[in-house]
Amino acid sequence: MPLLRSPDVLTDIERLVTCESPSTDLAAVARSADVTAEVGTALLGCEPERIVLDGSTHLRWRLGDGPRRVLLLGHHDTVWPIGTLDRIPFSVREGVLRGPGCFDMKAGVVMIFHAVAALGSPDGVTVLITGDEEIGSPSSRGLIETEAREHRAVLVTEASADGGALKTERKGTSMYEVTLHGRAAHAGLEPERGVSATIEAAHQVLAVAALSDVDAGTTVTPTVLSAGTTTNTVPAQGRFMVDVRVRNLAEQQRVDEAMRALEPVLDGAKIEVTGGPNRAPLEAAMSAELFALASRLGGPLTSAAVGGASDGNFTAGVGVPTLDGLGAVGGGAHAESEHVLVAELAPRTELLSALVRELSA
């Protein structure tokens, strides 16, 4: 079959985009899985396994009977709530495709189907489309890691970086919740009898922020903060969240050890730290050979190191070579300006197909 017929691919992207699929709406994700399965089955010639974990629906196609060689990885859930289509409808105008989730990453899912279909009956190829990536892949992580270990390489069709660059590095992520325990007292009558969780939180927020290392590319960012119950009570409890991004495992471990070693400043205060590393970094060494192959097959390509994480972090974290950002070229992920450049769909899909052909040979 032709590699990519523009009306066909645009119709397929429209079908996926117009079936809204916010990650936390399990019924919507199930409906999206049905539509995604229909599109994939029509192109790949076989139905997927439907894998439901904690209510979230994932799809897996295992093509051929030979040893597993290449895993193509994507997700069909989005960050957009039901009803977004009323405000941002699917459209294609002047070479720009728009709609919630088009760039991140429903166009990339359709590209997988067309790229693999163009190869006829490839052997050793697996397509895995998950339904909970946008909330951290809580149910699919184990599935992704187990599947990746059976393959020689993983290709992730998350959207490209700026200018169509492939993503050869992704920062690893850690998430923490720091809870401060103090002692309540009346703020007017006897504040000296209290231990303020708010003041302890202030000390700890500064200590945590100081763990960042700009030169190493490590960011440690205190985010959501809350404390206290009423305006005239010394707060007995407070908490704040921490977002950590790192380029390598050594930095992830350093920050983790420092977070767990936090000590209270105020007499009588206590600290509780929960959470930890969520995704290992996708380091350049894990993508170097695949990027070199892509450059040989697709001509001059650019690469980028990005702060955002993807399921490619999981596959690289278990030691499988991984190349990310092979999906749509455009911009505006998670923003109302989200869009895909139609002219780039064909060459990117051709590159993806060539990579699968080489890796599955």
**pLDDT class for 1, splitting at 50, 70, 90?**
very low
Q: What's the pLDDT tens digit per position in 25-67?
A: 999 999 999 999 999 999 999 999 999 999 999 999 999 999 9
- Domain 172-279 = CATH 3.40.640.10: no
What is the pairing mode between strands 166-170 and 303-306? parallel
Residue 20 dihedral angles phi and psi, to the nearest 5°:
-65, 145
Q: What's the pLDDT tens digit per position in 210-225?
A: 999 999 999 999 999 9
What is the pairing mode between strands 270-279 and 172-181? antiparallel
Q: What's the pLDDT tens digit per position in 244-254?
A: 999 999 999 99
Q: How far is CA 271 from CA 177, 201, 226, 240, 243, in A?
A: 10, 9, 15, 11, 18
Catalytic residues: 77, 133
Fold of 6-170+281-360: Aminopeptidase (3.40.630)
Mean pLDDT of the chain: 96
Where does the chain hold its CATH 3.40.630.10 domain(s)?
6-170+281-360
Where does the chain hold its CATH 3.30.70.360 domain(s)?
172-279
CA nearest neighbour of 144 among 163, 131, 135? 131
pLDDT value of position 299: 85
